[in-house]
Homo-oligomer: A and B are copies of this chain.
Amino acid sequence: MESGTSEPKFAHLGPTHTPKSYTFKGAKGWRRYRLFQPGRGMYHDVKRRLPYYWSDITDAWTYRTFASTIRMYFVNLLPAIAYTLDMTRRTGYFYGINEALFSSALAAMVFSIGAAQPLTIVGVTGLISLFNYTIYDIIKQYDVTLYPSFMAWTGIWAAIFHWIVSFGNYCDYMRYVTDFSSESFGMYVGIIYCVKGVEELVNEFTSVSPTAGFMSCMIAILYFGSVYGLEKLGSSTMWKPFVRGLLADYAYVFTTLFWVGFAHIPGSLEDTHVSYVPIQQAFHTTTGRSWLIDFWNLPAKWIFVALPFGFLVMLLFYYDHNVSSLTAQARQFPLKKPAGFHWDFFLLGCTTFIAGILGLPMPNGLVPQAPVHTDSLTVYETRLDIIHTIDGEDEDIRRPLVEATAVVEQRISHFLMGLALIGTMTGPLLIVLHTMPAAVFAGVFFVVGWGSIESSGILKRLIYLQSESRFIAPSNPLLTVPRRKIVLYIGLQIFGVAACVAISQTIAAIGFPVLIIALIPLRIVLMPNLFTKKELSVLDALTADGEAVLASLGGRPEMDGEGLKGLENGESRAEEGLNGEDGLRMKRTRSGSAVRQRAGSFTR
């Protein structure tokens, strides 16, 4: 099965280096076809990662693991419930809280124990919710009773496609993903989340009362403001780094506890009878069915109708899961342990299969939870950065420079978070969940959605275009690109986002993964005709970067000739330029809602 490339001796290089034995570069004849070497990527993923397994447990005994567990429990649970509130209403109450918790817990157990990259948090996303209720809308036009087994078969087909992709080494193509499409995807997800937040509030108006609606609006807005404000404080220069760390770690915890309590203050507040998280008996399905779906009773015709749907689920997960995993291993995190995309995608096929036959929403990699997990495990040091001015010492500018010095790479925080999710499935904790008003989840949608929009490179370039030119640093590499080219570039991104948002509002919503994936060939094939290589090297960058990541994807892609070779530096400088326009290098936000900057922001 080994290709012709020689396997270098790497042991003496220490744990920061990964074996570079896996690549299809230079392969000839039948060896060029990835499917003809099934499982080669998975084999190397496991071989590369297995030596670190014991350290994934022994490295865990630090405070960061504890803080990460608490934070990730909230950051994973709250959005999952938020999406479920929406999904349960729109799928005839088939998918409820118990299914969502089961799915999250299942994914956490499988990926914390078995994944090659346990940093990638896997769970219920807003997009699978969109998927599930769009299929519901389609099926109910024919026979709504088919929905459970149809979804089971969708999951089964999706699992099969996952396995084909992972055995066929097709995750390799993820290395062609650039910020062009991943920024568009981030923006799209952000917009969809904000829309979901609004829908959650509208639901309070229509299904409870205007009073409940207005109170929910108020709570959602204040929830958003609270998390946002606490995170801003957490990235300020107030107090000691320790206190700021607490704010950053527990912004969601404090805010959620406060606003849940607020909604229960007797008087005008409690009397609004806003809706709370609907719960069922512990460990029972929402509809009262048995957990295993009788998928074998679905008529054969429908089994094959489910095939394209399964393919679309795979397509969504191919992009969403792998990009989540990439962002959890982005440049700014000083990771030392290797990645394993093929193996993890195989595992995702397994969870998809189980979720399908048990009637759970299918879990996949979560943005921004996955990068937030890595962030929560990162040891940051706030250094004093003195910029010496020519006017002498008294005029020196002092500002904080946050540096990521290490990441506690381990499996335990993910595993404990999974245990906590299982605990949440028990009766007493379900009752606690039931105290949470839906308005809080609308607030969660706004925080997560706006975090994704605010951190988007699209928005940053828009601000660059709108800025008064004399305040732009002359070293900003964007100045080397004609303005109309930047406009064209953002225009293409916005067109892609708008198309996805538009399609999401229709019954064709399940097609949106095709649109997102289509942005990759658009970028690789079409855009080099519209932009020079130099322009693309300033505007765009590989989303997958770093040798430890690319090792699992078959090595650095050779696209645009030398155009992308200088990308790493070029892009860093571009981001510095964007961030530096207000005279400040962007600080690390340590945000619960998004990882807002790249390594470029930390270095000069």
Residues of A within 8 A of B (CB): 205, 209-211, 213-215, 217-218, 221-222, 236-241, 268, 271-272, 382, 384, 387-391, 393-400, 463, 466-468, 470-475, 581-584, 604
User: Which residues of B have CB within 8 Å of A209?
Assistant: 211
| Cβ-closest 7 pairs across A and B | A214-B214, A399-B583, A394-B475, A211-B211, A237-B471, A388-B390, A214-B215
User: Which residues of B have CB within 8 Å of A472?
Assistant: 398
User: Which residues of B have CB within 8 Å of A400?
Assistant: 468, 471
A395 interface neighbour in B239, B394, B475, Cβ under 8 Å: B475
User: Which residues of B have CB within 8 Å of A468?
Assistant: 237-241, 382, 400
- The answer to whether A399 touches B471 (Cβ under 8 A) is yes
Chain A contact residues, majority secondary structure:
mixed
Mind listing 28 A-B residue pairs with CB under 8 Å? A210-B215, A210-B271, A210-B272, A211-B211, A211-B214, A214-B272, A217-B218, A237-B468, A238-B467, A382-B468, A387-B387, A389-B389, A389-B390, A390-B390, A393-B474, A394-B473, A394-B475, A395-B475, A395-B604, A396-B473, A397-B397, A398-B470, A398-B471, A398-B472, A399-B583, A400-B468, A400-B471, A584-B584
Given A205-B268, A214-B217, A393-B474, 8 additional A-B pairs, CB 8 A: A209-B211, A211-B211, A214-B268, A241-B468, A394-B473, A394-B474, A398-B583, A582-B584
A217 to B463, CA, bound (A): 31
A389 to B395, CA, bound (A): 10
- The answer to whether A397 touches B387 (Cβ under 8 A) is yes
Chain B residue with the shortest CB-CB distance to A468: B237
Among A475, A582, A584, A604, the most chain B Cβ lie within 10 Å of the Cβ of A582
Chain B residue with the shortest CB-CB distance to A400: B471
Chain B residue with the shortest CB-CB distance to A470: B384
Chain B residue with the shortest CB-CB distance to A212: B214
Known: A237-B581, A384-B470, A384-B471. A210 touches B268 (CB 8 A): yes
A209 to B398, CA, bound (A): 52
- The answer to whether A582 touches B237 (Cβ under 8 A) is yes
User: Which residues of B have CB within 8 Å of A382?
Assistant: 468
User: Which residues of B have CB within 8 Å of A238?
Assistant: 463, 466-468
A471 to B396, CA, bound (A): 11
Known: A240-B468, A389-B390, A390-B388. A473 touches B210 (CB 8 A): no
User: Which residues of B have CB within 8 Å of A467?
Assistant: 237-239
User: Which residues of B have CB within 8 Å of A240?
Assistant: 468
User: Which residues of B have CB within 8 Å of A384?
Assistant: 470-471
User: Which residues of B have CB within 8 Å of A236?
Assistant: 582
Nearest CB in chain B: distance from A426 CB, A: 35
